[in-house]
Structure 1
Amino acid sequence: MDAVKERLADFSLEAHDLYLSQSVAHVDGPPDPLHFYRNWIGPNKPCIIRNAFSHWPALSRWTPAYLREKVGSKVISVAVTPDGYADAVKDDRFVMPEERRMTFSSVLDILEGKVKQHGVFYVQKQCSNLLDELPELTDDVEVHVPWMSTALGKVPDAVNFWLGEADAVTSLHKDHYENIYCVISGQKNFILLPPTDRPFVPYGLYQPAVYRQQDNGDFEVVDQSDSEKVPWIPLDPLNPDLERYPMYGRARPLHCSVKAGEMLYLPSLWFHHVQQTHGCMAVNFWYDMDFDIKYNYFQLLDALSDLTGSP
């Protein structure tokens, strides 16, 4: 079994040597669909695309004053946590945020420091919350990325809106989507690991729970005892516990920053951890991945990693 474990590690390192770069490339947009598919989607490699949505009115319109006037009275779903970590492992629980219904103006009041609240607030519901909760803003963006839709031969499954405090963190995870992530204002900071680094990424099964804020402002963790355990990554790439997870020391994470007016192509099955500047706004598009031979290979790699106890 040790020989298999070492071969899995070699497999990952070979991928870095053969086709993965040491940094995330920048390309000019909007790209040609066939060219983009051949150079980025097919090889499953991330890139940052410049000047691909400079025509969106949102880049100039989405000021606090405009948003208050346009959607200030709209009630939206907001994730609230004590420390900014939503959907993350804490004390051997997979803890989800408290989902609170608030007006958009109330969120802006918190972000602008006009109202003091316990906890960290993040508009991050996903599930196409831009289209479902804030359709008034769709005239300022696009409901799909035309060249990406052409490249993939499909439209996105979801279009999501993101807005939050600097302390809001997205824990390390992966998605089954081809992700186009567009930053409208502020900056997003990503830590990325390719699917081939799966042998170095620890997983566990955790009891699901949710945060619930009490009347005194403190948060309690409430177990979801009727729910199945959730597979999740316990490691924090900002401060990895290499004594507990020594194999992660062999991973080669990529770090990149996506600024206002730039979009990140985040390929399917790439592990990612996300931070942001205060008040950062973004829109992302989730295109369902093709469940082809690459997915088949990843499933094999995933199963072997679990079987050998990697990392």
Structure 2
Amino acid sequence: MELNLEQIPREKSLSKKDFLKKYFKPQKPVVIENFIEDWPAHSKWNLDYIKELAGEKTVPLYDDRPVKHDEGFNEPHAKMKMKDYIDLLKSKPTKYRIFLWNVLKEVPELQKDFTYPDFGLRLMKGLPMLFFGGSDSHTFMHYDIDLANIFHFHFEGKKQCILFSQSETRYLYKIPHSLITREDIDFDNPDLEKWPALKHAKGHITQLEHGNVLYIPEGYWHHMKYKSPGFSMSLRAIARKPGNFGKAVYNILFMRHFDNLMRRIKGQEWIDWKNEKAVLRTNNLVSKK
């Protein structure tokens, strides 16, 4: 038995009017296949180009090891020069990923290669973020701390994306005081005997290739798996729904600081309690279904 996932709609191109009507207002994901052909990035951006421009930059790397109590919020697991990291990506599969790498701050020249598209939403122009990964590397299932509307532009290689709306959270074994699900769930091939609540979750799936744009509605859970080495850029717009905006403010101003405080006070006991609570809460919600 597999997850209940439907293919995300794909559009060759999409006007601002149609995007707002068909996808933004109902908060549905979409892949736009041909949207950035006029960007220099469409023809220029590949791993070799990034290596040429940013090869000497030292980059933070993350893998799929479970969260530990003594690691800070988004603390990297390793560091490496970008040129060495790209050589690693091209030579063999690796779990190491880069995420939330600020283009404007790290490599301002890349700003010349793209423009901020008009989707009818005000994009946060100070936060274009790059994400890199090698074959079979993946993120944990998570949603973003600010519950933003995300436009995810993919370059080089292939990437699988699985999405769930916030309405499916009750089935996903969410970790309390966190933005992730249980880290030992393989969303690419889940054990539904061990995680039976996932049978009730209804989600979305797609595969991105060079030049594709994925719209991720605000607050959506997402799991990204690189089928081959590549990278993506995310542009974001703040959450517009009052409930989501309120959650974003709570997460940023309170939740993450409370979680870090409890890690310092309770140590690994806090992490273990949260993991156990995720299962108990999910099973309890499902039993009431």
- Kindly indicate whether the alpha-carbon contact (under 8 Å) linking 2:154 and 2:211 is maintained by their aligned counterparts in 1: yes
| 2:170 alignment counterpart | 199
Residue-pair matches, total: 248
| 1:24 alignment counterpart | 8
Distance 1:99 1:294, change over 3 A: closer
In 1, the alpha carbon distance for the partners of 2:239 and 2:189 equals 31
Q: Which residue among 108, 117, 133 is the counterpart of 2:106?
A: 133
- Kindly indicate whether the alpha-carbon contact (under 8 Å) linking 1:157 and 1:286 is maintained by their aligned counterparts in 2: no
The structure with the greater share of residues assigned to helix is: 2
1:135-166 superposed Cα distances (whole Å, 9 cap, x missing partner): 12221223x2x212xx1244346211122211
* TM-score calculated relative to the size of structure 2: 0.73
| 2:97 alignment counterpart | 122
| 2:49 alignment counterpart | 66
| 1:310 alignment counterpart | 285
In 2, the alpha carbon distance for the partners of 1:156 and 1:308 equals 41
Give 5+ residue unaligned stretches, structure 1.
1-15, 206-228, 300-304
The structure with the greater share of residues assigned to strand is: 1
In 2, the alpha carbon distance for the partners of 1:179 and 1:310 equals 29
CA RMSD in angstroms, aligned pairs only: 3.4
Matches within 5 A, 1:256-267: 256-267=206-217
| 1:272 alignment counterpart | 222
| 2:19 alignment counterpart | 36
In 1, the alpha carbon distance for the partners of 2:143 and 2:50 equals 31
Give 5+ residue unaligned stretches, structure 2.
251-279
Q: Which residue among 71, 87, 92 is the counterpart of 1:109?
A: 87
Matches within 5 A, 1:1-311: 22-29=6-13, 31-73=14-56, 75-81=57-63, 85=64, 88=66, 98-113=76-91, 120-124=95-99, 126=100, 129-142=102-115, 144=116, 146-148=117-119, 151-156=120-125, 158-175=127-144, 176-205=147-176, 230=178, 232-234=180-182, 235-292=185-242, 309-311=284-286
* TM-score calculated relative to the size of structure 1: 0.68
- Kindly indicate whether the alpha-carbon contact (under 8 Å) linking 2:161 and 2:205 is maintained by their aligned counterparts in 1: yes
Letter in 2 for 1:245: W
In 2, the alpha carbon distance for the partners of 1:292 and 1:129 equals 27
Percent of aligned pairs sharing the same letter: 21
Higher Rg of the two aligned structures: 1
> Secondary structure of 2:23's partner?
helix
- Kindly indicate whether the alpha-carbon contact (under 8 Å) linking 1:157 and 1:287 is maintained by their aligned counterparts in 2: no
